[in-house]
Each structure stands twice: as structure tokens, then as C-alpha cells.
Amino acid sequence: MNKMEQTDLKNLEAKIYVAGHKGMVGSAIERALTNQGYTNIIKRTSKQLDLTDKLEVDHFFATEKPDYVFLAAAKVGGILANNTYPADFLFQNINIQNNVIHASLVNKVKKLLFLGSSCIYPKHAPQPIKEEYLLTGALEATNDAYAIAKICGIKMCQAYAKQYSVNFINAMPTNLYGKNDNYHLEHSHVLPALIRKIHEAKDTGAAEVTVWGTGTPKREFLYADDLAEACIHLMKVYNSSDIVNIGTGEDLTINELATSISKALEYEGNLVFDVSKPDGTPRKLLDVSKIKNTGWEPKVGLDEGVLLAYQDYLQQINYSKMAVGNEALCVS
């Protein structure tokens, strides 16, 4: 274990940079920080600051001098996106991580939290997956580029902690969903994609919904606002570069998930499974005893979370319709 100087996030006026604040995870962290009374949160959109550009990142850190960094910025996507654009996932994520982590070292950031992903673990890891299973087996081929990029980020934080005694910590969340999620049918993760598919089937009166794969793989899902609370909790109490899993400790099959979403959305059609599509990892349940021993527990159950995510999806499509309508008014 790499023990580091204790530099906990307790000062409500501390300068905090949330990298990726427009995304689902980053926006959840920003909301949680604001709700807890933190008043000095630094934000930059991707148009304002290109995190893949080292010169831009170096200038930003040298100018702003943040005390704490939540590194939630990443290029993310589901099986199809990962399988189709592996070079993009590898190149962009490694560049973002390298730039932010190194600039945090150079500019003496007190503490950095790097967010990885449960896909870093071997495809056939024993269940539930303990933190020490990292690099003990082959990765899932459909998202190995993203996983390798995240492993590089973990190892970079650990190497910097070892060599420079900085307080850079690593959190590994399970599958996430929530407000500001991506509901694209091809580029999103399974839960938001199913919400959109099932909503559209109900809206059009379709008799069935096609679900990728066999429906038998098991997955664990964590509401993004619960993850945000966990991240802030770790910034307050955890001081080691050894990775920490964040999840619920419970999972269900994709079939069960799709059935649950159908029930929540009051869709009465049939679920049809396209077995020609990839399943991905057979099971991916995290052992979360480590973070629970620090005093954190998730609050939002899956049934409640799905309804909250569905409300977010409806808001997104209503906003899109309003935007199109306003554009038409302007053109005419």
C-alpha cells in the first residue's frame, strides 16, 4: 500500500477542479459538492479547455492552481462504440489522464481522485471482484482499449504516489446511470439504451423490443449521484493510491434489467434477444467491502434510480424538441 500524507477535503472554500463537469459523473460530483456547501468549484467545458492538449492543460493548472482535482473527464461508450473506435478510446483517454495527472503534480495539487471503471478487471475474474484481481487475467476484448487506458491512469497515479509522495487516489465505479446520461442507441451503455428503446416502443405501439445478446450476463448498476457522494467521501477519508471499488454489491441479468425497465415504463410488449450480438463479460459484480468499511453506503435503489433516469431522458427529449422548434421559428 502506498501511504500518503493526509490531505483531506474539508475546507468548504478550497479550490476544487471537476474535470468533465458536463458529463454524467462530473455533473453529479459538482451537484454533490454544491449541496455540501463547497463554494469554489472550477469548471471548464471541452470548448474552453481541451484536456487532450498538454499546453492548454498546463496553462490552466498554472493559472488556476486548484487544491483538489476530481478527474471525471473521459471518452466513454457502450460495447459498440468501444469495439468500433478502439484507437479513439485509447488515445484520447490516455492523453487526458497524462495531462491532468502530470499537471496536478507540477502545480502541487493537494489531492487528486482518478475515476477508472470496473472494465479494468479480467473478463473471467472470480465474483465478486476484489481490487487485487487487477491484471490477473485477460480483459474483455470488446472494450480492452478503454480498459487499458484506465489501467494506465491507475498505474500513473500509483507511480506518482510512490515516486513523489503525492496524494493521488483511484476509485473504480461499477456500471453507472443517472442524470445527464447518454441515451444514444448505439453509443450508450445498456441501461440508458434500454430506457430509450422501451420508451420509443411504447410511444409507437411496437409489439416488441430487441435487446442485444442473450440476456444472461449479469451487471451491477450504481446511480451517478451515489457515486458522487462516494467520491467526495473518499476525498475526505482515504489516503492511499490502492484502488477502491464503488458499487452496490448487487447485480441482475440483462433480461431482469430489461423486464424491470419495461415495468417501470409500463410497457407491455415483448422482449426479444438478438443472440447474434455480443454479450460482453459474463458477470461483473464488484466486491465493495473496502469502501463500505470506510462508512459509505449507496442510497438510491435500482427501481427508484430507473424512474429518475427516465425522468431525465424525458427532459432531454423534450428539450431537444423545444430546441428544434425554436430553431424553426428563427429560420422562418
* Active site positions, annotated: 146
Which residue do the cell numbers 482518478 mark? 114
- 21 annotated ligand binder: yes
Write the CA distances from 310 to 32, 182, 270, 315, integer angstroms. 21, 12, 19, 9
- 279 annotated ligand binder: yes
- 84 annotated ligand binder: no
Q: Are 245 and 291 in contact (CB under 8 A)?
A: yes
- 25 annotated ligand binder: yes
> 165 — alpha (psi -120 to 50), left (phi > 0) or beta?
left
- 26 annotated ligand binder: yes
Extended strands (E) in 213-280: 218-219, 221-223, 244-246, 252-253, 270-274
- 109 annotated ligand binder: no
- 24 annotated ligand binder: yes
**Through-space distance between the first and last CA atoms of the chain, rounded to whole angstroms:** 64
Looking at residue 291, its amino acid is: I
Q: How many CA atoms lie within 13 A of 175 on its CB side?
A: 23
- 197 annotated ligand binder: yes
- 104 annotated ligand binder: no
- 174 annotated ligand binder: yes
- 272 annotated ligand binder: no
- 226 annotated ligand binder: no
Closest CA to 66 of 33, 32, 25: 33
Calpha distance 168→68 (Å, rounded): 10
Residues within the annotated binding site? Answer: 20-26, 115-118, 150, 173-176, 189, 197, 212, 219, 279
Residues within the annotated binding site for substrate? Answer: 197, 212, 219, 279
Residues within the annotated binding site for NADP(+)? Answer: 20-26, 115-118, 150, 173-176, 189
